[in-house]
Every structure is written in C-alpha cells, then in structure tokens.
C-alpha cells in the first residue's frame, strides 16, 4: 500500500469512515433510491448501522460472524451492506442470478449464521439449503428491500461492540474461477476502505475531465464502477 491508498484521518475501517462522514457531512445524501426517490444521508446511515449492530447482537450474531445478503438493489441492501461491515460482522453477498448448485455450495461453505433475504427469493434460498450436504444452522430474516427498518429493530441504539481492527475480515465474496469453479475471496476492512477511496478519486477525476458537451455515449465511454 502506498501513501495515496491510505484513508488517513477518515479512519481505517468502514465504521471509522462512516463516523467521519456523518460528523462532517451528516445531512449530505449517501444514496438516493431511483425506484422510490427515498434518500439516505450519512447521518441516517450511521444511525441505521448502529441499530443494525444492536439488532444482530440481540439475535446472538456476534462480531466476526458471517452474514449473508440476498436482496435486490434498494435502501435495505445499501444499509445492510454498510451496516454489517461497520459493526464487525463479515458480509457474504449472494448473487441473485446464482444457479441453485452455486447457491447451495456457498451456503454450505460460508458458515453464515444469518441471511437477509427478499420475500421473492426465500423459496429459492430454502431449496438451496435443503440440498446442502452438511448441517447448516442459520437464521433467515425475510425483509422488504425498500423498508427503512428490520422487524424488531430500534432506531435509537449505540454500538454494542468495539470498533473492529483494520485487518479484520469484512467481505467474503464468491466468484467463478477460470475453470468455472466457485472461488472464495476474503477482503479485510482496510482493503475495503482503500478500494472505496480509490474509486471515489477515480470518479472525481472522471467528472473533472469529462467534456460537458458530451450528450450521447461514445464508443470509448464505459459505465463507472
């Protein structure tokens, strides 16, 4: 890692960056849901992440536990993605287009203690669980992708656990390798923060250098990621 990659005063964990942004830009929008127009500010996201941490702790899902996510794009997916990693749990994103065999492999391999799933994906998830060859114990939470809170979640809460260390695992991701076999990749918190910072700088450069007259996509234009 070089000096340009380090998140400096903004913190070396997702929680540290989130608290910095909520302290300096509390009212600024973190995300706007295009389907509903609902907004989530940095201040809202901090409160949401604290509430999620308290919710998970109350359910017996301790820091370091693996938590799966099988939701379409929406406010709930955003707040869970940030909140799970901010509170020291390890997020396991599950692809909405994963084949049943792939989903069963991931559920059997990842040791998820809980999975947040959209109602329309519950049947596929339970079918995949039934085909796992070893005993898997996990809690399933059926959630509305556009809801603001989880069932039983309180809006007023504090962090129940200390801030996770920068080298703590944050993401466990599965992808297809060159031989079409499912491959697992684990990212640590500091790596997640640095990748996020690098993408933010890249977007800023693209915005600064983009020609204002460009109204239609050119052959060389690519979507930002």
DSSP alpha helices (H): ranges in 4-155? 14-24, 42-58, 75-86, 100-109, 122-130
| Burial class of residue 222, CB neighbours in 10 A (0-12, 13-18, 19+) | exposed
What range does the domain containing 89 cover?
Answer: 9-147+162-208
Q: Per the domain annotation, does 39 fall within a domain?
A: yes
Q: Per the domain annotation, does 222 fall within a domain?
A: no
Of residues 9 and 225, more confidence is placed in 9
CB crowding 118-133: b at 16 or more within 10 Å, else e: beebeeebeebbeeee
**Sorting pLDDT into bands at 50, 70 and 90, what band is 14?**
confident
Q: Which helix (H) or strand (E) holds 172?
A: strand 169-176
**Sorting pLDDT into bands at 50, 70 and 90, what band is 181?**
low
- Residue 209: predicted pLDDT: 35
pTM: 0.75
**Strand 182-188 to strand 169-176: parallel, antiparallel, or no bridges (unpaired)?**
antiparallel
Q: Which of 11-25, 116-130, 136-150, 191-205 has the highest mean pLDDT?
A: 116-130
CATH number for 81: 3.40.50.12780
Quote the number of domains for the chain: 1
State how far the Cα of 51 lies from the Cα of 202, in Å rounded to an integer: 32
**Phi then psi dihedrals of residue 198, to 5 deg:** -65, -40
- Residue 204: predicted pLDDT: 34
Return the structure tokens found at 183: 């491959």
- Residue 61: predicted pLDDT: 93
- Residue 4: predicted pLDDT: 37
DSSP bridge partners of 183: 175
Q: Per the domain annotation, does 157 fall within a domain?
A: no
Q: What is the mean pLDDT of residues 18-41?
A: 89
């Amino acid at each position: 890692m070089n000096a340009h990659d380090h998140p400096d005063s903004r913190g070396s964990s997702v929680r540290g960056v989130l608290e910095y942004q909520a302290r300096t830009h509390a009212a600024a929008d973190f995300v706007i849901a295009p389907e509903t127009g609902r907004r989530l500010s940095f201040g809202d996201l901090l409160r949401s992440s604290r509430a999620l941490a308290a919710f998970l702790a109350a359910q017996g899902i301790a820091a370091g536990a693996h938590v799966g996510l099988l939701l379409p794009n929406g406010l709930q997916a955003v707040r869970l993605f940030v909140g799970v990693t901010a509170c020291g749990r390890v997020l396991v994103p599950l692809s909405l287009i994963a084949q049943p065999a792939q989903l069963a492999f991931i559920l059997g391999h990842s040791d998820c203690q809980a999975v947040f799933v959209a109602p329309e994906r519950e049947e596929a998830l339970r079918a995949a669980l039934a085909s796992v060859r070893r005993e898997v114990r996990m809690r399933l939470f059926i959630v509305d992708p556009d809801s603001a809170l989880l069932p039983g979640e309180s809006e007023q809460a504090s962090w129940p656990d200390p801030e996770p260390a920068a080298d703590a695992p944050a993401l466990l991701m599965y992808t297809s390798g060159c031989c079409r076999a499912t491959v697992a990749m684990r990212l640590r918190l500091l790596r997640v923060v640095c990748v996020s910072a690098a993408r933010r700088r890249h977007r800023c450069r693209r915005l600064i250098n983009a020609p204002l007259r460009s109204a239609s996509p050119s052959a060389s234009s690519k979507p930002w990621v």
